[in-house]
Amino acid sequence: MLKMLFINFFISPRKSQSFPYLRRPNPANRDGIKQILKTKQGKMNNYELMVIFTPVLSEEEFKAAQKKYTDFVTEHGGSITHSNPWGLKSLAYPIQKKTTGIYWVLEYSALSSFNEKLQIQILRDEQIIRHMATKLDKYDVEYNARKRSGVPTGTEKLAKV
């Protein structure tokens, strides 16, 4: 009796109709699933990449490294929204016995599968101390655009009168 109650409650056809993920996948619909996966991979997302280069780079080497990664993004179908070299800054803690680093922030849009390729290139590069890629939502993109254009964003400190 308990077994029948369990089967009727947990494996009833009504339950699988209301929860489609409980149904078995239809082998005839596998092409549809592949198309859904392709469209998810084909979506362009916005990202922000922050890179810390070693402080021993000259100005020409730093610009060459920036160009290398901006070209890498555009070669793989992405587009550069904004590039912002911050310059030489002190680090919060020593990394590889270095207390300073050259910061660079790159805002770009690319496919989600592109970040794996970019990370491989960054990890191979000995000039880079640290990096961080962050996916931006639509609010982050709007905020960054307003901040670049000079429109007040509401996060600035008020001047004392």
pLDDT at 159: 61
Whether residue 108 is contained in a domain is answered as yes
Query: Residue 88 has which token pair?
Result: 């030489």
**CATH number of the domain encompassing residue 89:** 3.30.70.60
82 assigned to some structural domain? yes
Q: How many residues does the chain have?
A: 161
CB crowding 107-137: b at 16 or more within 10 Å, else e: bbbbeeebbeebeeebeeeebbbebebeebe
Note the pLDDT of residue 49.
96
Domain that holds residue 76: 43-147
More confident residue, 85 or 21: 85
pLDDT at res. 129? 95
Task: Give the chain's domain count.
Answer: 1
Residues 6+ apart with CB under 8 A from 85: 62, 66, 102, 103, 104, 105
Is 97 part of a structural domain of the chain?
yes
On whether residue 69 sits in a domain, the answer given is: yes
Residue 138 lies in a domain: yes
Within-domain flag for 141: yes
Q: What is the pLDDT of residues 147-156, one digit of tens each?
A: 888 877 777 7
Is 29 a residue whose pLDDT tops 80? no
Is residue 48 included in any domain, yes or no? yes
Q: Is pLDDT at 32 greater than 80 in this prediction?
A: no
pLDDT tens digit string along 89-141? Answer: 999 999 999 999 999 999 999 998 899 999 999 999 999 999 999 999 999 99
